Structure 1
Amino acid sequence: MTGKTHLMGGIATATVVATYTEYDPVLFIAAGAIGGLIPDICHGGSKIGRRFPLLSKIINSIFGHRTFTHSLLFIVVMRFVLTMFITNQSIIMGVLAGMVSHFVLDAMTKNGIKLFYPVNITVRFPVTTRTGGAVEHVVLLVLTIVTIYYGKDIISTPLF
Protein backbone atom coordinates (compact mmCIF):
# COMPACT_ATOMS: atom_id res chain seq x y z
CA MET A 1 0.00 0.00 0.00
CA THR A 2 1.07 3.56 -0.54
CA GLY A 3 1.80 6.15 2.15
CA LYS A 4 -1.52 7.94 1.80
CA THR A 5 -3.41 4.68 2.35
CA HIS A 6 -1.29 3.83 5.40
CA LEU A 7 -1.80 7.33 6.76
CA MET A 8 -5.57 7.06 6.29
CA GLY A 9 -5.52 3.52 7.70
CA GLY A 10 -3.88 4.78 10.88
CA ILE A 11 -6.35 7.64 11.15
CA ALA A 12 -9.39 5.43 10.46
CA THR A 13 -8.30 2.74 12.92
CA ALA A 14 -7.55 5.28 15.63
CA THR A 15 -10.84 7.11 15.02
CA VAL A 16 -12.84 3.90 15.43
CA VAL A 17 -10.92 2.85 18.56
CA ALA A 18 -11.14 6.36 20.06
CA THR A 19 -14.92 6.19 19.71
CA TYR A 20 -15.07 3.20 22.06
CA THR A 21 -12.32 4.07 24.55
CA GLU A 22 -11.45 6.79 27.04
CA TYR A 23 -8.25 7.78 25.24
CA ASP A 24 -7.88 11.46 24.33
CA PRO A 25 -9.26 11.35 20.78
CA VAL A 26 -7.08 14.12 19.37
CA LEU A 27 -3.84 12.62 20.67
CA PHE A 28 -4.93 9.07 19.87
CA ILE A 29 -5.83 9.86 16.25
CA ALA A 30 -2.71 11.95 15.65
CA ALA A 31 -0.59 9.14 17.08
CA GLY A 32 -2.49 6.62 14.96
CA ALA A 33 -1.61 8.59 11.84
CA ILE A 34 2.08 8.45 12.75
CA GLY A 35 1.84 4.78 13.69
CA GLY A 36 0.32 4.07 10.29
CA LEU A 37 3.57 5.23 8.67
CA ILE A 38 6.22 3.91 11.09
CA PRO A 39 6.56 0.31 9.82
CA ASP A 40 7.75 1.56 6.42
CA ILE A 41 10.88 3.08 7.98
CA CYS A 42 12.55 0.05 6.36
CA HIS A 43 11.83 1.46 2.88
CA GLY A 44 13.84 4.47 1.74
CA GLY A 45 11.17 5.61 -0.72
CA SER A 46 8.36 5.69 1.86
CA LYS A 47 7.02 8.87 3.46
CA ILE A 48 8.85 8.15 6.71
CA GLY A 49 11.90 6.67 4.97
CA ARG A 50 12.40 9.91 3.04
CA ARG A 51 12.06 11.86 6.30
CA PHE A 52 14.72 9.77 8.07
CA PRO A 53 16.93 8.48 5.23
CA LEU A 54 19.92 7.38 7.32
CA LEU A 55 17.79 5.44 9.81
CA SER A 56 15.81 3.94 6.93
CA LYS A 57 18.96 2.82 5.14
CA ILE A 58 20.38 1.23 8.31
CA ILE A 59 17.17 -0.64 9.11
CA ASN A 60 16.77 -1.80 5.51
CA SER A 61 20.36 -3.04 5.29
CA ILE A 62 19.95 -5.05 8.51
CA PHE A 63 16.42 -6.42 8.06
CA GLY A 64 15.20 -5.73 4.52
CA HIS A 65 11.66 -4.62 3.68
CA ARG A 66 8.49 -5.92 5.38
CA THR A 67 10.30 -8.15 7.85
CA PHE A 68 11.16 -6.92 11.37
CA THR A 69 9.30 -3.61 11.08
CA HIS A 70 6.16 -5.47 9.99
CA SER A 71 6.20 -8.01 12.82
CA LEU A 72 4.69 -8.64 16.21
CA LEU A 73 8.21 -8.39 17.61
CA PHE A 74 8.41 -4.81 16.32
CA ILE A 75 5.12 -3.98 18.09
CA VAL A 76 6.59 -5.28 21.36
CA VAL A 77 9.85 -3.35 20.85
CA MET A 78 7.98 -0.16 19.97
CA ARG A 79 5.73 -0.49 23.02
CA PHE A 80 8.82 -0.82 25.20
CA VAL A 81 10.61 2.13 23.55
CA LEU A 82 7.54 4.36 23.63
CA THR A 83 6.92 3.71 27.33
CA MET A 84 10.53 4.70 28.05
CA PHE A 85 9.98 8.18 26.62
CA ILE A 86 6.22 8.83 26.68
CA THR A 87 3.86 8.55 29.64
CA ASN A 88 0.63 9.42 27.83
CA GLN A 89 -1.23 6.18 27.04
CA SER A 90 -3.31 7.89 24.33
CA ILE A 91 -0.13 8.50 22.34
CA ILE A 92 1.42 5.09 22.99
CA MET A 93 -1.70 3.10 22.16
CA GLY A 94 -2.51 5.34 19.19
CA VAL A 95 0.88 4.65 17.63
CA LEU A 96 0.44 0.91 18.17
CA ALA A 97 -3.08 0.96 16.70
CA GLY A 98 -1.76 2.76 13.62
CA MET A 99 1.01 0.19 13.27
CA VAL A 100 -1.50 -2.67 13.41
CA SER A 101 -3.52 -1.00 10.65
CA HIS A 102 -0.33 -0.84 8.58
CA PHE A 103 0.23 -4.57 9.04
CA VAL A 104 -3.33 -5.39 7.98
CA LEU A 105 -3.09 -3.21 4.89
CA ASP A 106 0.25 -4.67 3.79
CA ALA A 107 -1.06 -8.20 4.38
CA MET A 108 -3.60 -7.36 1.66
CA THR A 109 -0.79 -7.10 -0.92
CA LYS A 110 0.78 -9.90 -2.94
CA ASN A 111 4.10 -9.61 -1.05
CA GLY A 112 2.45 -9.84 2.38
CA ILE A 113 4.43 -9.36 5.60
CA LYS A 114 6.69 -11.36 7.92
CA LEU A 115 4.35 -11.01 10.89
CA PHE A 116 6.18 -13.64 12.96
CA TYR A 117 9.71 -12.43 12.17
CA PRO A 118 12.33 -13.85 12.72
CA VAL A 119 10.36 -16.92 11.61
CA ASN A 120 10.31 -16.78 7.82
CA ILE A 121 6.56 -17.12 7.25
CA THR A 122 4.80 -14.72 4.91
CA VAL A 123 1.34 -13.63 6.04
CA ARG A 124 -1.12 -12.34 3.48
CA PHE A 125 -4.83 -12.43 2.84
CA PRO A 126 -6.14 -15.14 0.53
CA VAL A 127 -7.16 -12.47 -1.98
CA THR A 128 -4.52 -9.80 -2.52
CA THR A 129 -4.10 -6.61 -4.47
CA ARG A 130 -1.34 -4.64 -6.11
CA THR A 131 0.15 -1.61 -4.38
CA GLY A 132 -1.16 1.57 -6.02
CA GLY A 133 -3.82 -0.28 -8.03
CA ALA A 134 -7.52 0.40 -8.41
CA VAL A 135 -8.40 -1.76 -5.41
CA GLU A 136 -6.12 0.33 -3.21
CA HIS A 137 -8.03 3.44 -4.29
CA VAL A 138 -11.26 1.75 -3.18
CA VAL A 139 -9.64 0.80 0.16
CA LEU A 140 -8.54 4.43 0.61
CA LEU A 141 -12.08 5.62 -0.09
CA VAL A 142 -13.56 3.14 2.41
CA LEU A 143 -11.03 4.21 5.08
CA THR A 144 -11.97 7.84 4.47
CA ILE A 145 -15.68 7.07 4.79
CA VAL A 146 -15.07 5.10 8.01
CA THR A 147 -13.10 8.05 9.41
CA ILE A 148 -15.90 10.49 8.59
CA TYR A 149 -18.60 8.19 9.96
CA TYR A 150 -16.88 7.56 13.30
CA GLY A 151 -15.25 10.99 13.46
CA LYS A 152 -18.60 12.78 13.53
CA ASP A 153 -19.20 11.27 16.99
CA ILE A 154 -15.84 12.49 18.24
CA ILE A 155 -16.33 15.99 16.86
CA SER A 156 -19.74 16.29 18.52
CA THR A 157 -18.28 15.26 21.90
CA PRO A 158 -17.00 18.20 23.97
CA LEU A 159 -13.24 17.93 24.54
CA PHE A 160 -13.19 20.10 27.65
Structure 2
Amino acid sequence: MMASGHQTVGVTAGLLSITLLPQVEYIPNGTLETILFFVFVLFGSLLPDIDTPSSTLGRKFWRALMYILLAAAVLYLFAPEYLETYREQLKVFVMLTFPLLVMVKSHRKMTHSVVFIGLLLFYHLVITYFFEVPPYYFVGFMLGVCSHLLGDYLTKRGIPFFYPISKKYFRFIITMRTGSSAEKIMVTVLSIWNVWYLISQVF
Protein backbone atom coordinates (compact mmCIF):
# COMPACT_ATOMS: atom_id res chain seq x y z
CA MET A 1 0.00 0.00 0.00
CA MET A 2 1.18 3.52 -0.79
CA ALA A 3 2.12 6.01 1.96
CA SER A 4 -1.05 8.08 1.47
CA GLY A 5 -3.13 4.92 1.78
CA HIS A 6 -1.40 3.90 4.99
CA GLN A 7 -2.01 7.32 6.51
CA THR A 8 -5.67 7.28 5.50
CA VAL A 9 -6.17 3.85 7.05
CA GLY A 10 -4.32 5.06 10.15
CA VAL A 11 -6.56 8.11 10.56
CA THR A 12 -9.62 5.88 10.11
CA ALA A 13 -8.34 3.54 12.83
CA GLY A 14 -7.76 6.52 15.12
CA LEU A 15 -11.25 7.91 14.55
CA LEU A 16 -12.82 4.50 15.13
CA SER A 17 -10.89 4.05 18.38
CA ILE A 18 -12.08 7.41 19.69
CA THR A 19 -15.65 6.65 18.59
CA LEU A 20 -15.88 3.09 19.91
CA LEU A 21 -13.75 3.53 23.04
CA PRO A 22 -14.65 6.99 24.38
CA GLN A 23 -14.49 5.92 28.02
CA VAL A 24 -11.08 4.25 27.87
CA GLU A 25 -8.48 6.28 29.79
CA TYR A 26 -5.87 5.81 27.08
CA ILE A 27 -7.94 7.76 24.55
CA PRO A 28 -7.36 11.56 24.47
CA ASN A 29 -10.11 14.01 25.46
CA GLY A 30 -8.88 17.57 24.86
CA THR A 31 -8.34 19.21 21.46
CA LEU A 32 -4.54 19.47 21.74
CA GLU A 33 -4.28 15.92 23.07
CA THR A 34 -6.38 14.65 20.15
CA ILE A 35 -4.21 16.49 17.60
CA LEU A 36 -1.03 15.02 19.11
CA PHE A 37 -2.72 11.62 19.21
CA PHE A 38 -3.26 11.74 15.44
CA VAL A 39 0.29 13.01 14.84
CA PHE A 40 1.51 9.79 16.45
CA VAL A 41 -1.05 7.78 14.46
CA LEU A 42 0.29 9.24 11.19
CA PHE A 43 3.91 8.61 12.20
CA GLY A 44 3.13 5.04 13.25
CA SER A 45 1.27 4.40 10.00
CA LEU A 46 4.53 4.99 8.08
CA LEU A 47 7.03 3.46 10.50
CA PRO A 48 7.03 -0.18 9.24
CA ASP A 49 8.30 1.05 5.86
CA ILE A 50 11.40 2.45 7.53
CA ASP A 51 13.12 -0.68 6.21
CA THR A 52 12.88 0.79 2.70
CA PRO A 53 15.31 3.67 2.00
CA SER A 54 13.08 4.82 -0.89
CA SER A 55 9.91 5.05 1.22
CA THR A 56 8.48 8.35 2.50
CA LEU A 57 9.76 7.84 6.05
CA GLY A 58 12.75 5.69 5.09
CA ARG A 59 14.39 8.50 3.12
CA LYS A 60 14.23 10.89 6.07
CA PHE A 61 15.32 8.27 8.62
CA TRP A 62 18.41 7.06 6.76
CA ARG A 63 19.43 10.59 5.82
CA ALA A 64 19.13 11.74 9.44
CA LEU A 65 21.03 8.67 10.64
CA MET A 66 23.86 9.40 8.20
CA TYR A 67 24.11 12.97 9.52
CA ILE A 68 24.19 11.73 13.11
CA LEU A 69 26.92 9.19 12.35
CA LEU A 70 28.92 11.84 10.46
CA ALA A 71 28.60 14.26 13.39
CA ALA A 72 29.69 11.52 15.81
CA ALA A 73 32.74 10.75 13.66
CA VAL A 74 33.72 14.44 13.54
CA LEU A 75 33.37 14.76 17.31
CA TYR A 76 35.40 11.60 17.84
CA LEU A 77 38.26 12.98 15.73
CA PHE A 78 38.28 16.62 16.81
CA ALA A 79 36.37 16.93 20.10
CA PRO A 80 36.21 13.53 21.88
CA GLU A 81 35.43 15.23 25.21
CA TYR A 82 31.89 15.98 23.94
CA LEU A 83 31.26 12.30 23.30
CA GLU A 84 32.36 11.54 26.84
CA THR A 85 30.03 14.26 28.19
CA TYR A 86 27.01 12.73 26.47
CA ARG A 87 28.06 9.13 26.93
CA GLU A 88 24.86 8.01 28.69
CA GLN A 89 22.60 9.68 26.11
CA LEU A 90 24.54 8.03 23.30
CA LYS A 91 24.20 4.64 24.98
CA VAL A 92 20.40 5.05 25.10
CA PHE A 93 20.35 6.18 21.45
CA VAL A 94 22.40 3.18 20.31
CA MET A 95 20.26 0.83 22.40
CA LEU A 96 17.09 2.12 20.75
CA THR A 97 18.50 2.33 17.22
CA PHE A 98 20.56 -0.87 16.97
CA PRO A 99 17.59 -3.30 16.86
CA LEU A 100 16.14 -1.30 13.96
CA LEU A 101 19.43 -1.51 12.06
CA VAL A 102 19.64 -5.26 12.65
CA MET A 103 16.10 -5.97 11.44
CA VAL A 104 16.31 -3.76 8.36
CA LYS A 105 17.34 -6.29 5.71
CA SER A 106 14.73 -5.92 2.99
CA HIS A 107 11.21 -4.64 2.53
CA ARG A 108 8.34 -6.32 4.39
CA LYS A 109 10.36 -8.55 6.61
CA MET A 110 10.94 -7.91 10.32
CA THR A 111 9.17 -4.54 10.46
CA HIS A 112 5.98 -6.21 9.25
CA SER A 113 5.94 -8.92 11.89
CA VAL A 114 4.70 -9.53 15.42
CA VAL A 115 8.35 -9.35 16.57
CA PHE A 116 8.41 -5.69 15.52
CA ILE A 117 5.26 -5.01 17.54
CA GLY A 118 6.87 -6.71 20.54
CA LEU A 119 9.99 -4.56 20.10
CA LEU A 120 7.87 -1.40 20.08
CA LEU A 121 6.17 -2.52 23.28
CA PHE A 122 9.62 -2.98 24.81
CA TYR A 123 10.61 0.51 23.66
CA HIS A 124 7.48 1.85 25.31
CA LEU A 125 8.44 0.26 28.63
CA VAL A 126 11.98 1.67 28.40
CA ILE A 127 10.81 5.19 27.52
CA THR A 128 8.12 5.31 30.21
CA TYR A 129 10.70 4.08 32.73
CA PHE A 130 12.86 7.15 32.11
CA PHE A 131 10.19 9.70 31.17
CA GLU A 132 6.57 10.45 32.00
CA VAL A 133 4.78 10.09 28.68
CA PRO A 134 0.95 10.20 28.39
CA PRO A 135 -0.24 6.70 27.40
CA TYR A 136 -2.48 7.89 24.57
CA TYR A 137 0.61 8.90 22.55
CA PHE A 138 1.76 5.30 22.48
CA VAL A 139 -1.80 4.07 21.79
CA GLY A 140 -1.99 6.37 18.75
CA PHE A 141 1.46 5.28 17.63
CA MET A 142 0.58 1.58 17.87
CA LEU A 143 -2.75 2.13 16.13
CA GLY A 144 -0.81 3.62 13.24
CA VAL A 145 1.65 0.71 13.13
CA CYS A 146 -1.10 -1.92 13.29
CA SER A 147 -3.12 -0.10 10.62
CA HIS A 148 -0.04 -0.22 8.38
CA LEU A 149 0.22 -3.99 8.81
CA LEU A 150 -3.51 -4.30 8.14
CA GLY A 151 -3.17 -2.28 4.94
CA ASP A 152 -0.33 -4.47 3.65
CA TYR A 153 -2.26 -7.57 4.76
CA LEU A 154 -4.87 -6.57 2.18
CA THR A 155 -2.32 -6.51 -0.65
CA LYS A 156 -1.43 -9.45 -2.89
CA ARG A 157 2.03 -9.83 -1.35
CA GLY A 158 0.74 -9.90 2.22
CA ILE A 159 2.96 -9.72 5.32
CA PRO A 160 5.32 -12.23 7.03
CA PHE A 161 3.50 -11.89 10.35
CA PHE A 162 5.62 -14.48 12.21
CA TYR A 163 9.00 -13.57 10.68
CA PRO A 164 11.73 -14.72 11.40
CA ILE A 165 10.12 -17.81 12.97
CA SER A 166 8.23 -18.38 9.73
CA LYS A 167 8.89 -16.73 6.38
CA LYS A 168 5.38 -17.44 5.16
CA TYR A 169 3.41 -14.40 3.95
CA PHE A 170 -0.18 -14.03 5.09
CA ARG A 171 -2.83 -12.07 3.20
CA PHE A 172 -6.55 -11.48 3.28
CA ILE A 173 -8.94 -13.54 1.13
CA ILE A 174 -9.66 -10.49 -1.04
CA THR A 175 -6.48 -8.62 -2.02
CA MET A 176 -5.40 -5.70 -4.19
CA ARG A 177 -2.20 -4.57 -5.82
CA THR A 178 -0.22 -1.69 -4.34
CA GLY A 179 -1.09 1.51 -6.18
CA SER A 180 -3.96 -0.16 -8.06
CA SER A 181 -7.35 1.36 -8.82
CA ALA A 182 -8.88 -0.79 -6.07
CA GLU A 183 -6.53 0.73 -3.50
CA LYS A 184 -7.26 4.25 -4.73
CA ILE A 185 -11.01 3.64 -4.50
CA MET A 186 -10.68 2.28 -0.96
CA VAL A 187 -8.52 5.24 0.10
CA THR A 188 -10.99 7.69 -1.48
CA VAL A 189 -13.95 6.10 0.32
CA LEU A 190 -12.12 6.12 3.66
CA SER A 191 -11.02 9.74 3.12
CA ILE A 192 -14.61 10.81 2.44
CA TRP A 193 -15.79 9.02 5.57
CA ASN A 194 -13.02 10.60 7.66
CA VAL A 195 -13.91 14.10 6.44
CA TRP A 196 -17.63 13.48 6.97
CA TYR A 197 -17.02 12.19 10.48
CA LEU A 198 -14.85 15.17 11.44
CA ILE A 199 -17.39 17.65 10.03
CA SER A 200 -20.26 15.91 11.84
CA GLN A 201 -18.35 16.17 15.12
CA VAL A 202 -17.68 19.89 14.65
CA PHE A 203 -21.21 20.85 13.56
Which residue of 67, 75, 78 maps to 2:120? 78
Cα distance change of structure 1 residues 155 and 88 upon mapping to structure 2, 3 Å threshold? farther
Partner residue, 1:11: 11
Q: 2:45 aligns with which of 36, 46, 55?
A: 36
Please give the residue correspondences for 1:120-139 in structure 2 after superposition, counting only pairs within 5 Å: 120-139=167-186
Q: Deviations over 1:120-159 (max 9, x none)?
A: 1211112211111101111111221232244346546xxx
Q: Unaligned stretches of 5+ in structure 1?
A: none
CA distance in 2, matches of 1:59, 1:84: 18
Distance 1:88 1:61, change over 3 A: closer
Per the normalisation by structure 1, the TM-score is: 0.85
Aligned CA distance change for structure 1 residues 90 and 61 (closer, same or farther; 3 Å): closer
Residue 92 of structure 1 corresponds to 138
Match of 2:62? 53
**Which moved further from structure 2: 85-94 or 36-45?**
85-94
Q: 1:154 to 1:41 in 2, by over 3 A?
A: farther
* Residue 156 (structure 2) pairs with residue 110 (structure 1): yes
Q: Tell me the residue number matched to 2:35.
A: 26
Distance 1:91 1:133, change over 3 A: same
Q: Which residue of 1 aligns with 2:194?
A: 147
Deviation at 1:3, TM superposition (A): 0.6
Q: Secondary structure at the match of 1:75?
A: helix
Unaligned runs of 5+ in 2: 29-33, 66-99
CA contact (8 A) 1:10 1:36 kept: yes
| One-letter amino acid matched to 2:136 | S
